[in-house]
Amino acid sequence: MIQGGAILTFTFLLVALIPFVGPFVLILTPLPVLYYGACLGRLRGLTVLAVSFLAAYVILDLAGHRANLSVLFMIGFTGVLLSEVLKRNFSVAKTVLLASSALFCCGAGFVLYHAFRSGIAPWRMVETYIAGMIEENIKLYAQMNISEEQVRMIRENAPQLTRFFTGIFPALGLSGTVLTVWVNLLAGRRLFQRSGVAFPDFGDLAAWKAPERLVWIVIIAGGMLFVPLEGMTVVGMNLLIVTGLIYLFQGFAIAAFFFRQKQVPKMFRLLFYGLILVQQYMLIVLIAFGLFDLWVDFRKRIKGIKDNIHR
């Protein structure tokens, strides 16, 4: 309990004191809460979480630093939520769906709460937040080695960018919660296995496939983009982003299956995943593999190729 309290307190302080902490590190911050919640049990785990939260708040207050309690609460809530869902031993799809839905609703609740307190419409508050983020990025680009012409072009198109990102904010928020849940589940499974802690058997994740009927949502969403109504276009974009994320997971599953069948060394696997972080167009390639897997069945072909080689 002491070790868990110290690590959770350090996690909260890390997020509060280092605002520019990397997004991947920030996504993994619920992992300690999940781990110690599973190791210590529900009551002791919640006690350690509450004490750590209070300790971090006191330290930050003494240091004269105002903590973002909403962010810290969401970290704790995500860890507790994942711990409770894992105890139900659902399938991986149901686990991700339930945890992501609950987390997304909690985040939406925070937005509605702050909008109600400030007397601003929720959509306007989101729009103001995005406009502020774009303005901060413009200032950052002006300090970097980016031509003045490019910075001026971004500044001139800032209203259009704000309106665009405000429109797809629901899909971005839902995609962010799904990624948070998925990354913590993958990291949690590895951590639990190494520590000898029970973890649900999700089966062979490299064999996972999206429901076949999902392709109809992609077709309908794509058709919405051609309807000359802004509302329909926005809905279509949101649907395409969410379904694209699902097919991205299927693309990753195909890649993992290929690496396993070909016995690709871990170093080259890490190089491939690192390339995806650097070259984002690779995400489009993986999404395409995930989508067309419905007709091509890449894993069957990969397995067939390997069988022919062994013959």
The backbone torsions φ and ψ at residue 10, rounded to the nearest 5 degrees and listed phi first, read -60, -40
Task: Please provide the size of the chain in residues.
Answer: 311
Residue 199: strand, helix, or coil: coil
Q: What is the 3-state secondary structure (H, E, C) of 56-96?
A: HHHHHHHCCCCCCHHHHHHHHHHHHHHHHHHCCCCCHHHHH
Q: At what angle do helices 298-310 and 281-296 cross, to 10 degrees?
A: 80
Residues 6+ apart with CB under 8 A from 17: 60, 65
Query: Considering only CA atoms, which of 147, 168, 169 is closest in space to residue 155?
Result: 147
Instruction: Indicate if the pLDDT at residue 67 is higher than 70.
Output: no
Residues 6+ apart with CB under 8 A from 167: 234, 237, 238
Q: What angle do CA 138, 139, 143 make, to 5 degrees?
A: 115
Residues 6+ apart with CB under 8 A from 130: 162, 165, 166, 169
Q: Which helix (H) or strand (E) holds 238?
A: helix 230-261
To the question of pTM greater than 0.95 for the whole model, the response is no
pLDDT in tens, 267-308: 888 888 888 877 778 889 999 999 999 898 898 888 776 554
Query: Considering only CA atoms, which of 118, 132, 142 is closest in space to residue 165?
Result: 132
pLDDT in tens, 36-59: 888 888 888 888 888 888 888 888
Cα–Cα distance, 124 to 114 (Å, whole number): 12
Question: How is residue 18 written in tokens?
Answer: 């280092």
Cα–Cα distance, 58 to 72 (Å, whole number): 13
Question: How is residue 116 written in tokens?
Answer: 């109600």
Write down the pLDDT at residue 144. 73
Query: Considering only CA atoms, which of 120, 139, 136, 131 is closest in space to residue 165?
Result: 131
Query: Considering only CA atoms, which of 99, 98, 126, 94 is closest in space to residue 110?
Result: 126
Each domain of the chain, given as residue ranges in start order, spans 204-304
Cα–Cα distance, 58 to 205 (Å, whole number): 42
Among the ranges given (15-19, 59-63, 145-149, 267-271), the one the predictor scored with the smallest mean pLDDT:
15-19
pLDDT in tens, 75-115: 888 888 898 888 888 888 899 999 999 989 988 888 888 88
pLDDT in tens, 207-265: 899 999 999 999 999 999 998 888 899 999 999 999 999 999 999 999 999 998 888 88
